[in-house]
Structure 1
């Protein structure tokens, strides 16, 4: 007898409570490791922010070259994102995530040998290619383990990894930069080596601990596995008749609201990654005599605010109107916070308050925006819509740091690029009022039939 017949008929309240218990168990067993992996990945992709000034002095890296190199990571990350996810689906999460971690860890450590702008560009490109698919792969992995009713919490906690990475990474980077001269190496070289090593070591933990699917989980009983499989299969029934593969992109591409979500998310990602890469240098601009550790500790403050925002406000987006208010009001608030920082007139406390107010809204906006593909689409088109929003949004991670670096080089003012972000976020705030909920069912069915 197969496992799926072991559970037998079950009353709906009992089934729901058991699924909640299973999800709670899976949450405890899986989410801490997934969050740690994402924290390490984000530290390794953004730690150049702490090394910016040292690289300018030691290898002659200009602010414009730094911004371009920071952005090149996202260009190649985005291009390889979908192929990487398809490979993971085929070979299994445990192997593919471990592979991603080993390659990105080695390349991150290799950043210690950069000697000019070209080598900086090449290694940033390779790092983006190595890490490609990690974020959407993790989101896909979560869908293997959690029914729809429990995914939002898991994804929300997973996104906290971004804030935690900045809270931990900035002070840690400041401490490691203090190793300057030890063993004949610069402090930034020690930072890249030491911060890249955990990814390689943790890859082996992922390989030995992370099951590909629930049927491999030693902590679940046979009945638990069967019930979870039944629930996930039932939720996928609607997708079975829909288009698959690249055909699923057709209804996505025809949906004007999805393109609107992409445009809004693009403005959001410009703001997030511009601050991720340039906040340490903007903080240092207020006092050149600040130690690296002090810069790191101050840099962590806005990201603590971001963690508070992401863990408190998204749950209030229960209706379409409230979600539009959170996205539009959030982006406008980001603009207000950055205006405060840009006009702080060398008042560090006021600037940090402005940065913190802006960062508070970052992951509130992101959590709400990613509900719209599910509102508008169904079946395989939902997955394609999420991937498309994320891929185009990552291009904001390329454009933001690139323009920030160019504006700093041309003006000599590290805060000059904030006005570019302010304009974009105000535009995004206005666009958010055009968001709409579910499409007419007949229209969606007609499009999915046409591509099936």
Structure 2
């Protein structure tokens, strides 16, 4: 074991560092969770408006699938540039800017007139939101040591279940309330209100986020030094063993390896998320509204606990590999199970399978991000993390199109075959995750007992 590793282990065991980490977590994590809650809500609330948009604006299933997915094209194109600009302007300014601009675009969905405006706005939503998620990943990697990073990622990931647990009933409630207002459709009220929430979150982020430990007034001098020392030592290890610079990062084989894993994960995530309200409505025989919203919140409620406790348990490299592999397998099996239950008209069983699928893929995300942040730093991290997230998120573009295309090709009236198709890719990711045992990073040595 290297001297750097021994030195870092000594630093990690000091009470002053533990105090600094605890303070940083309490100060920063709530704001980051709020940002991603609103982002995920504005990204996926289109699922609640699908049927209404078809009736009110003539948006067909094919146009909806294209619009739902084209978000990720704009997202992918501007992800790396946004990450590089974050390193220039700092997280405080850039993350706030992202939230405010995407909130404005999201609110504009209230004024959609047809397929063209719908698709254009979905693309612009991806452009304006680009950089939020990888920017937060970089931000957390600059604030928290590798030893506790998965736990922090898991806390951040809690935004997804919180968003869906609270957002699904909220979206259904806003639709119901909006339908009572003369001259306004419920889906218009939903888009406008939830878009404005993002604007408010962006303004708050500017005042709550701190760019680096050195700028943190809530830390003592000793805490600043302890946290800065361990992060500097880890960065030194990354610079010695990982790629340096933007081009080297984008050519790195491990970066592309984790891009494929993340792509498979996102196909599962958005294959479930985009169609969850419709799937629950189909299982229960109800119209999309507050009742369906409450039922659709159930998987995300249980996902909160799964994400947090599995993230806390995956505190060594071997455990991360085992947990990640098992969770990908579970995701695929449960997606298959939800399709089977729907085809056989078993609503309770279907919701159980959907719940287990959500718990599985939510818990996998923080584990996936622990790998690239262990060997990427500086501009290499900005480019590499941006590449993984942007191309990986194209799974969100592929998922609705794959599902719709398979259903059309197989003439599946219930949509079962499209769901089966989405369940295949998590098994590919499981094989790749298991294969990470051949990778070794000096920074990861700190995790082993």
Which residue in 1 is equivalent to 2:304? 307
- Determine helix, strand or coil for the equivalent of 1:417: helix
In structure 1, stretches of 5+ residues that fail to align are 1-10, 442-452
1:101-143 alpha-carbon deviations (Å, 9 max, x no partner): 1111110000011111111100000000000000011111223
Q: 1:291 to 1:65 in 2, by over 3 A?
A: closer
Whichever of the two has the greater Rg, that structure is 1
In 1, distance between residues paired with 2:195 and 2:377? 38
Report the equivalent of 2:428: 427
Q: State whether residues 373 and 386 of structure 1, in contact with CA within 8 Å, keep that contact through their aligned partners in structure 2.
A: yes
Pairing 1:269–2:270 present: no
Partner of 1:246: 246
TM-score after normalising by structure 1:
0.87
1:235 match: secondary structure: helix
Q: Give secondary structure in 2 for the equivalent of 1:370.
A: helix
Q: How many residues align?
A: 429
Deviation string for 1:285-323 (max 9, x for gaps)?
234444501110111112223222212224444565544
Which residue is 1:195 aligned to? 194
For 1:182, what is the secondary structure of its paired residue? Answer: coil
Question: 1:2-38 CA deviation, whole Å, 9 max, x = no partner?
Answer: xxxxxxxxx9579721011011111111111110111
The aligned counterpart of 1:350 is 349
Q: CA 1:286–1:20 in structure 2 vs 1: closer, same or farther (change >3 Å)?
A: same
2:171 counterpart residue number: 173
Which range moved further: 140-149 or 81-90? 140-149
Task: Check whether the contact 1:261–1:435 (CA below 8 A) recurs between aligned residues.
Answer: no
**CA offset digits 1:308-362 (Å, max 9, x no partner):** 2212224444565544433332222222212222122122111101111211211
Contact 2:150–2:367 (8 Å) recurs in 1 = no
Matched residue, 2:325: 328
Contact kept, 8 Å, 2:407 with 2:413, in 1: the verdict is yes
- TM-score with structure 2 length normalisation? 0.88
For the residue of structure 1 that corresponds to 2:21, the secondary structure is: helix
Q: Deviations over 1:158-206 (max 9, x none)?
A: 0111111111111111101102141411000000011111111222222
1:58 corresponds to 2:56: yes
Q: What CA distance in whole angstroms lies between the structure 2 residues aligned with 1:77 and 1:291?
A: 28
Q: Which residue of 1 aligns with 2:44?
A: 46
1:6 maps to none
Distance in 2, matches of 1:83 and 1:250, equals: 13
Contact 1:88-1:96 within 8 A present in 2 as well: yes
Gaps of at least 5 residues in structure 2 are 1-8, 443-449
